[in-house]
Amino acid sequence: MTSDDYSSDYAEDEAVQSRSSTLRETTDLLDRYSDKINLDQYLGASHRTTRDKSERATVDQVLDPRTVGFLGKLFKNGTITRINGCISTGKEANVYHAVNENNGREYAVKIYKTSILVFKDRERYVDGEFRFRNTKSQSNPRKMVRTWAEKEFRNLKRLYSSGIPSPEPIDLKSHVLVMEYLTKGEGQPSPKLKDYQFKDLDEVVDYYQRMLVDMRLMFQKCRLIHADLSEYNTIVHKDDLYIFDVSQSVEPEHPMAMDFLRMDIKNVNDYFSRVKKINVYPERLIFRYIIDPWGIIDDTGKVEVEDRTTLKEYLNGIPLKSDDEKENQQDEIFRSLHLVTSLHNLEERDFQRFREGHVDTLVDLVRTADLMTEDDDEEEVSTDEENEEGEEEGSENENDDDSSDHTDSETPSKLKRFEDKDDKKKRKQAAKEKAREKRKTKMNKNVKKRLVKKSHKH
């Protein structure tokens, strides 16, 4: 045998020993907590033994030695005293039913999988987040999954502390998250929105408005956008709508935050209009309803977000979506817009448009889509849909001018978004002519570089 053969055999022996050691460690830990951990499917007060090999592999996939070690810490600190079985399995995580027999509370233990590759596209939900700016080695599945679990825990804390119905976060150990278990009694989980049996059409409308109110409160109070909101990630619990699964939620400053918000709005509208067959609000108006910073100003000058009753009453004043072709076209244009949240997210080519007044900064920056024509300039979008905020502020300014004593009250506004259509065309044409004349006398770059080098030498 050659030396290469010996080294190959040695490597194989090392691999076998390593696997054996891992299996022994897992077995020892499971034996230690065998009387407290049940891995079978949890069906309320009963269990179903998992016999199917593929299903069993899915259940056990998250329980490596490190994970069992983190579960051991939860047992030691008294957070939970028993795991009764697996509630659900998914691509990213398994959820187990647990209890604390000392206080009688039920918990959901969410264990993220560390041996899968579904997190390859998850970096976009973390990159650009100020909270996770120092996160490193996102290509490492174990480190990425730990960041993902921490993100969900912190987002849940924001929702719960702000009074938005959501499961209470209890504890976090690396990629093992413990939260409140939403149950309707006897271990039976509260239904997801997609499985909830509505009493009548009025209740459907009520839950639709509740979801929109929660989206606004998430944005204004928690500074969060869900980024995956749908009927699958909401639960009807105690006659209220609870939001969960917020691991991918981002702050409004995230580069893709506005795109995620627009996607959430579309998902919600699609479910209630196509599945529940009710009239919904136009997407662009919902977008504006969520991001507009209007509020009640208290004696200290602090702006407070309105209560749920006020927010719901405001919704009743928004016109519902109709079959009008022009209105549907406006929503289609809104879906195609390039949305940015700050100047840092503007591309280099956008700055010229910003200087010319094509990008506004009332709330968040929004660049109109290339498909919009010159004739549509009066409908250019500023911060939400089609510069409706600008039009409203314009009308308010006009009213203020009429009521004031200034002599220049009839002078037209100098703001570019308020100028007349013909004046805008003339201004653009004049700018083009000026740029054309400037290019005629512009120095060639190569000549300029040579002159700069000569000046440095002297």
Cα 100 to chain center, whole Å?
32
DSSP state of 363: S
Q: How far apart are CA 312 and CA 135, in angstroms?
A: 39
CA nearest neighbour of 253 among 291, 305, 211: 291
Q: Does 245 appear as a known binding residue?
A: yes
Q: Does 31 appear as a known binding residue?
A: no
b (16+ CB within 10 A) / e for 279-313: ebbbbbbbbbbbbbeeeeeeeeeeeebbeeeebee
CA nearest neighbour of 270 among 303, 229, 225, 299: 229
> The tokens 């991918």 sit on which residue?
248
Q: How far apart are CA 136 and CA 431, in angstroms?
A: 47
The answer to whether 256 and 124 are in contact (CB under 8 A) is: yes
Q: Which amino acid is at 169?
A: P
Residue 68: strand, helix, or coil = helix
Q: What is the largest CA-CA distance in the chain?
A: 104
Angle at the Cα of 353 from the Cα atoms of 347 and 356, rounded to 5 degrees: 150
Q: Which residues are catalytic?
A: 228, 245
b (16+ CB within 10 A) / e for 431-444: eeeeeeeeeeeeee
Report the binding-site residues for Mg(2+): 233, 245
